[in-house]
Amino acid sequence: MKKLLVIILALLLVLAFSVTALAAEREWVEIVCDGQPLVGVRNLVESAYGGFWVCTTGGLYLADQRGEAERMFSGVLKTQWVYDIAEAADGSYWLTQGYTYAPTGKNYGVFHISADGELIEEFNMENSRLLGDFAQAIEITADGRVWIGGDGGLSVYDPAAGAWKTYGKDDGLPTDSVCVLAADDFGGMWIGCYPNGEQGGLKPPFSGGYAYISKAGRLTAWAYDAASDDEYNSHLLGDFWVRSIAPLNDLGAGQAAISRSGAAPSYFESAGYVGADGLPIPISECVGGRLDMVRGSVVEHTTGRESIPAIAAGIIAGDPTAGTAGATPEIRALAYDEGQSLWLGCSALGLFNDKEDVNYSSAAGTWSGALYDNIYALLLTDGGTLIAGSQGGVMLSAGSDFYLPVAPVDIAEVRISSHAMTVNGAEAKVSAYLINGNNYFKLRDIAMLLNGSEAQFEVEWDAALAAINATDGAAYTAVGGELAALAAPKSVAPSTHKLFMDGARIYPAAYLIDGNNYYKLRDIGRLIDFAIGWQAAGESNTAAGTIIIDTASSYIGE
């Protein structure tokens, strides 16, 4: 009996490990512009129009839902160092033009740029009430107010009224310098501070913290200094510098994960950290920064070393560049997967998850080069796409809202599908090509089949733009040739034709086969919103299995 229990326990452990590994397994691709990596990333911002912004020390880029990046506004900017960008409801953009804390004359405040890329207005300390020209963070709330974090504090501008409201240490913030802003789903704003220190904030001892302003305007601050918090070393910048804030929206207002870092292992020699007693601070004090889980009035403090299971379990060793065992790369970037886990980007060892013993890094073979392990920003979209921005570039693991370009296939691998199909219970006579295990259908064929149902849509061809225009909810107009039987293909290549849905460009996987565009059925179901089911061969009347379409139900992912 005991032997049986041991065997069962061993099997359970193997199963648990397998589930963790499968849950954590992600494929990554690099986002580039004109074949070049997007180096020096400082922030990643999701776009309301699809895709995401990449803010770097060498310019601003917009990556579309297919992972193709384009450099933006370079002719308008005064410095190519862009820390943050926010999209306004009128289609215009607000972006930071800060360069450095040092007064070098290269900080230009905030630029307001029109939808067509023209400069509308510059805001700086000379022409406005902006607190600090070194602007690093910017957010726009639902009421249209523009929140700006800079080296002089927090500035809130109401464009409609032309009015400003400012916050500094005298108004309740932990310090007079704001480097992180994060709006939550409840109208509140999280504020992360750069530490106060001696000699203009550059030398220890340090103090700092973060704050939250509710929708009603109530400010709550969490301030830390060595006098009242002996857990922290006031001579380590990293114990006080807020680097990332991830609101825990599924848990309610006023709750967030906050990382504080800045004393990476390599800093110990270059910065010459010494304690209050004048003695050098041992590199073992580099504990991976601090991770604060703020849940209302309760704050749980852990070190980065304690927060990453892979390090605690010994799967990942200390930073090899530190030269001393025990030093841990610091947590710099956070992304919260609501109700599930927290992704943590480090300063030297890549990407981790707080619930799994996994590591994505150059050492693990995820990407090439140690610069990619130095992660400054993370973005997790509602569709499950995870993006890591680093000194080396931008790596993307696609979810349901990104459609990376399909790979070329050998024509011998493209076969006529033998799968049957039913639409709302009725047999549908339609042909498809089977490519890499997925059924690809002509868009007009699916439109013809769904015409008159809850999921009907119109399809039109724009020859001048080489584009397909689809209109959700409109009746389909037949052009002839729909639902014709397919023959063995003579030519196949990834499609370069654009596809627009209700005027917005979308990027589903598509192949051009014998002059016609074929789309993956699940992409069509997701875009039009109809349910797709599957009945295996043994459960259906066909030898190969049956695809089931239900237009009265919503699409559910695989």
Mean pLDDT of the chain: 86
At 394-411, the pLDDT tens digits run 999 988 777 777 778 999
Structure tokens at 199: 């000699």
Region 75-93: mean pLDDT is 94
Identify the band that residue 224 occupies on the pLDDT scale cut at 50, 70 and 90. confident
The pTM of this model reads 0.76
Query: Residue 478: beta bridge partners?
Result: none
| pLDDT at residue 61 tops 90 | yes
Tell me 433's DSSP state. Answer: E
Instruction: Please report the pLDDT score of residue 356 as a whole number.
Output: 83
Exposure string of 82-106, with b = 16+ CB inside 10 Å and e = fewer, is bbbbbbbeeebbbbbbbbebeeeee
Q: Check whether 19 has a pLDDT greater than 60.
A: no
Q: Is the pLDDT of residue 557 over 80?
A: no
Q: If pLDDT is split at 50, 70 and 90, which confidence band does 425 have?
A: very high
CA distances from 174 to 54, 221, 291, 357, 516 (A): 29, 7, 17, 35, 61
Q: Which helix (H) or strand (E) holds 323?
A: none
- pLDDT tens string 493-548: 988 888 998 988 787 888 999 999 999 999 899 889 999 999 987 665 666 899 99
Instruction: Give yes or no for a cis peptide into 265 (omega within 30° of 0).
Output: no
Among residues of the chain, what percentage have pLDDT more than 70?
85
Per-residue model confidence (pLDDT) at position 16: 33
pLDDT at 169 exceeding the cut of 80: yes
pLDDT for position 164: 98
- Which residue in 343, 303, 358, 353 sits closest to 326, CA to CA? 303
Q: Nearest 5°: phi and psi at 372?
A: -70, -20
pLDDT exceeds cutoff 90 at 431: yes
Maximum distance among all alpha carbons in the chain? Answer: 86
**Residue linked to tokens 């504990």:** 287
